[in-house]
Amino acid sequence: MKAMVLQDPGPVEDAPLDMRDVDDPEPGPGQVRLKVSICGACHTDLHTVEGEIDLPLLPLIPGHQIVGTVDKMGEGVSQRRLGDRLGVAWVNGSCGKCELCTKGLDNLCDQARFTGLHTNGGYAQHVVVDQLYAFPIPDKFTDAEASPLLCAGIIGYRSLKLSEIEPGQRLGLYGFGASAHIAIQVARHWGCMVYVFTRSQDHRDHAMALGAEWAGDARDESPEKLDSAITFAPAGWIVPLALGRLVQGGTLAINAIHMSPIPEMAYSTIYQERTVRSVTNFTRQDAVEFLKLAGELPVRTDVETHPLEEANQVLQKLKRSEIRGAAVLEIPQ
The SS3 assignment for 318 reads helix
Letter for the amino acid at 1? Answer: M
Residue 321 scores a pLDDT above 90: no
pLDDT digits (tens, 9 = 90+) for 174-185: 999 888 999 999
What is the model's pLDDT at position 319? 92
Name the strand (E) or helix (H) holding 239: helix 238-244
Q: With cut-offs at 50, 70 and 90, classify the pLDDT of residue 155.
A: very high
Contact between residue 120 and residue 68 where contact means Cβ atoms under 8 Å apart: no
Least confident of 53-57, 167-171, 246-250: 53-57
pLDDT digits (tens, 9 = 90+) for 114-142: 999 999 999 999 999 999 999 999 999 99
- Whole-angstrom distance, CA of residue 294 vs CA of residue 291: 5
Whether the per-residue pLDDT at 51 is higher than 90: the answer is yes
In a domain, 159, yes or no: yes
Residue 285 — pLDDT band, cuts 50, 70, 90? very high
| Count of CB atoms situated within 10 Å of the CB of 102 | 11
pLDDT per position as a tens digit, 226-284 = 999 999 988 999 999 999 999 999 999 999 888 899 999 999 999 999 999 999 989 99
The residue that leads in pLDDT, 4 or 177, is 4
Structural domain includes residue 177 = yes
Could you give the C-alpha distances from 151 to 7, 90, 105, 181, 274, in angstroms and in order? Answer: 24, 7, 17, 12, 27
Confirm if 243 and 274 have CB atoms less than 8 A apart: yes
Q: What is the pLDDT of residue 325?
A: 78
Q: Write the CATH number for 56.
A: 3.90.180.10
| Residues 132 and 26 reside in one and the same domain | yes
User: Is there a contact between 277 and 255 (Cβ–Cβ < 8 Å)?
Assistant: no
Q: Tell me, yes or no, whether 267 and 158 share the same domain.
A: yes
pLDDT of residue 269: 93
Residue 20 and residue 123 in one domain = yes
Using 50, 70 and 90 to split pLDDT, how confident is the model at 324? confident
Which CATH number goes with the domain that contains 188? 3.40.50.720
pLDDT at position 179 is: 87
Q: What pLDDT does 86 receive?
A: 97
Percent of the chain residues past pLDDT 90, beyond the cut: 89
pLDDT of residue 175: 93
Residue pLDDT, tens place only, 206-223: 999 999 999 999 999 999
Same domain, 118 and 15: yes
Identify whether 261 is part of a domain.
yes
Domain count of the fold of the chain: 2
pLDDT score at 234: 87
What pLDDT, on the 0 to 100 scale, is given for residue 177? Answer: 84
Query: Is residue 150 classed as helix, strand or coil in its secondary structure?
Result: helix
In a domain, 290, yes or no: no
Q: What is the mean pLDDT of the chain?
A: 94
Q: Would you say residue 286 lies in a domain?
A: no
Judge contact between 158 and 186, C-beta under 8 A: no
Q: Are residues 133 and 187 in the same domain?
A: no
Reduced to 3 states (helix: H, G, I; strand: E, B; else coil), residue 136 is strand
pTM of the model: 0.88
For residue 73, pLDDT beyond 90: yes
Note whether 8 and 131 are same-domain residues: yes
Q: What is the dihedral of CA 160, 161, 163, 166, to 10 degrees?
A: 90
Q: Is 141 left (phi over 0), alpha (psi -120 to 50) or beta?
A: beta
Q: Helix and strand tally (H, E) in the chain?
A: 9, 17
Question: What's the confidence (pLDDT) of residue 143?
Answer: 96
The alpha carbon torsion through 242, 40, 114, 52 (nearest 10 deg) reads -60
